[in-house]
């Protein structure tokens, strides 16, 4: 029983001190020991531990190496010019700060909730909800955005091989003059079926697609570098630093993959050891590939050739070689590559919802598992909703909305590192952020810088999303939280 007179108790709004009671409900935290115990107690009945270092690394690479370079590059170059290379570096450095923070937190708290769980253990329930709500935006919208990019490459592959294209009515939603983006919806549904087959099977499929993805990007660099001309880099920064920052904010959408690694915590065989290593390995490899591809792309094609926002890497290969053969190979590989992003990011979305459902913040149906240990109902509902989103909403707004939600969640992970360094210095850490507290503070500032580089229209959409999330929290989640009937530890306590 909870002592209703205790200052740590969850007093109802009608009890004495109504305002403090609300504050305590908003700041109540889930003990780290409980988070860890839940993952251990679920052995045999919860998510199944099948993944080692390489499978986790493939999740990180699979989720990260995708639309940012295959599709969004064509939209970022007109904003930054040849300095889009710096935009990737800027986004990569910002992501690296957060990747370091993720590596430390994932080694301490191997729970599926990722940044949501880290926030719940350090900052409190309300900010954890906000973080989880942002991750829903990040992952749900990201899957839809990648689905849109996948449809573009399917159409290009069809055009290169047959000379025909899909009807415009089924290549774009109503906001772009079409009826429905059918390919985008189809790839989400295909990923849904792969996930329903089980995590072991879907991780194998992802590993194959990641290998194809890396191979075709290396092929692009090898071919395009032969056509790099110094003159294509001048003027290097035609839009100034503002253009570099704006493009970097959009391209940050390309770096959400290492969060996906942490969402697989409860399906990793040795999460404390393998999660930090997989996060850093995926981050370093992907950043190197991004910068190489961006350099060779703008070096081989004058940046003004990207002004229509529709130039693809496959198109550059055709211009460089004078034959469509390499473009066909690349487009076919891109179809598989982007499918892997859809698969992994959709997987991550379902695991975030699984963790939030286990805590009572979203309906319990999202944490029910079938005989294979797969959250079937969660996967079905999430996939079908995202398929509808992908079919109706264009890529540009999707990518921007995803980036701002990602930046906010990453900033909270850096804050979580700072809080736990002060309150739980006793906890064993498989990885420690070097240069703390300076490095996590720089991570927060870098995320804030990119967030404020985004246009007001994106901020308006983000604030509307937050407002909807707050309405859901106060109207539903706060009252159904698993911590509602339990004592709440004071925020100033020395233990989390």
pLDDT of res. 130: 92
pLDDT of res. 377: 93
What is the 3 state secondary structure string of the chain?
CCCCCCCCCCCCCCCCCHHHHHHHHHHCCCCHHHHHHHHHHCCCCCCCCCECHHHHHHHHHHHHCCHHHHCCHHHHHHHHHHHHHHHHHHHHHHHHHHHHHHHHHHHHCCCCCCHHHHHHHHCCHHHHHHHHHHHHHHHHHHHHHHHHHHHHHHHHHHHHHHCCCCCHHHCCCHHHCCCCCHHHHHHHHHHHHHHHCCHHHHHHHHHHHHHHHHHHHHHHHHHHHHHCCHHHHCCCCCCHHHHHHHHHHHHHHHHCHHHHHHHCHHHECCHHHHHHHHHHHHHHHHHHHHHHHHHHHHHHCCHHHHCCCCCCHHHHHHHHHCCCHHHHHHHHHHHHHHHHHHHHHHHHHHHHHHHHHHCCCCCHHHHCCCCCCCCHHHHHHHHHHHHHHHHHCCHHHHHHHHHHHHHHHHHHHHHHHHHHHHHCCCCCCCCCCCCCCHHHHHHHHHHHHHHCCCCHHHHHHHHHHHHHHHHHHHHHHHHHCCCCCCCCCCCCCCCC
pLDDT of res. 426: 83
Domain ranges of the chain: 55-480
pLDDT of res. 13: 43
pLDDT of res. 218: 92
- Residues of the chain where predicted confidence (pLDDT) is lower than 70: 1-20, 39-48, 67-68, 71, 253, 307-311, 395-401, 485-496
In tens, the pLDDT along 104-127 reads: 888 788 777 788 988 898 888 999
User: For domain 55-480, which architecture applies?
Assistant: Up-down Bundle (1.20)
Q: What is the pTM of this model?
A: 0.80
């Amino acid at each position: 029983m909870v002592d209703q007179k205790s200052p740590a108790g969850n007093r109802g709004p009608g009890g004495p001190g109504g305002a403090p009671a609300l504050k305590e409900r908003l700041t109540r935290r889930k003990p780290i020991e409980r988070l860890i115990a839940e993952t251990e107690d679920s052995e045999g009945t919860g998510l199944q531990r099948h993944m080692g270092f390489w499978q986790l690394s493939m999740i990180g690479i699979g989720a990260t190496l995708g639309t940012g370079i295959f599709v969004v590059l064509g939209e970022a170059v007109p904003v930054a010019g040849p300095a889009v290379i710096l935009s990737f570096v800027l986004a990569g450095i910002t992501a690296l700060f957060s990747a370091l923070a993720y590596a430390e937190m994932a080694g301490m708290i191997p729970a599926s909730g990722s940044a949501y769980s880290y926030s719940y253990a350090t900052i409190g329930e309300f900010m954890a909800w906000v973080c989880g709500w942002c991750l829903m935006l990040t992952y749900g919208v990201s899957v839809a955005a990648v689905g849109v990019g996948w449809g573009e490459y399917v159409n290009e592959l069809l055009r290169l091989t047959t000379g025909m294209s899909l009807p415009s009515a089924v290549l774009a939603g109503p906001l772009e003059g079409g009826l429905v983006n059918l390919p985008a919806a189809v790839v989400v549904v295909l990923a849904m079926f792969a996930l329903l087959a089980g995590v072991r099977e879907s991780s194998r499929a992802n590993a194959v697609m990641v290998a194809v993805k890396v191979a075709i990007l290396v092929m692009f660099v090898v071919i395009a570098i032969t056509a790099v001309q110094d003159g294509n880099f001048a003027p290097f920064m035609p839009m100034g630093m503002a253009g570099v920052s704006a493009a970097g904010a959009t391209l940050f959408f390309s770096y959400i993959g290492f969060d996906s690694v942490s969402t697989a915590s409860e399906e990793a065989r040795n999460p404390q050891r393998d999660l930090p290593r997989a996060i850093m390995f995926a981050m370093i490899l992907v950043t190197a590939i991004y910068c190489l591809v961006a350099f060779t792309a703008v070096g081989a094609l004058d940046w003004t050739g990207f002004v229509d926002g529709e130039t693809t890497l496959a198109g550059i290969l055709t211009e460089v070689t004078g034959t469509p053969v390499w473009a066909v190979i690349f487009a076919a590989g891109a179809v598989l590559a982007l499918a892997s992003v859809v698969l992994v990011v959709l997987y991550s979305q379902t695991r975030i919802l699984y963790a939030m459902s286990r805590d009572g913040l979203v309906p319990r149906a999202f944490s029910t598992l079938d005989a294979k240990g797969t959250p079937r109902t969660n996967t079905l509902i999430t996939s079908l909703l995202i398929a509808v989103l992908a079919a109706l909403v264009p890529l540009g707004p999707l990518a921007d909305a995803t980036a701002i939600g990602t930046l906010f969640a990453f900033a909270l992970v850096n804050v979580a590192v700072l809080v736990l360094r002060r309150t739980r210095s006793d906890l064993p850490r498989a990885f420690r952020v070097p240069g703390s507290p300076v490095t996590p503070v720089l991570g927060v500032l870098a995320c804030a810088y990119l967030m404020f580089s985004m246009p007001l229209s994106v901020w308006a959409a983000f604030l509307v999303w937050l407002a909807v999330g707050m309405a859901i929290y106060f109207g539903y989640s706060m009252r159904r939280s698993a911590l509602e009937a339990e004592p709440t530890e004071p925020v100033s306590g020395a233990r989390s």
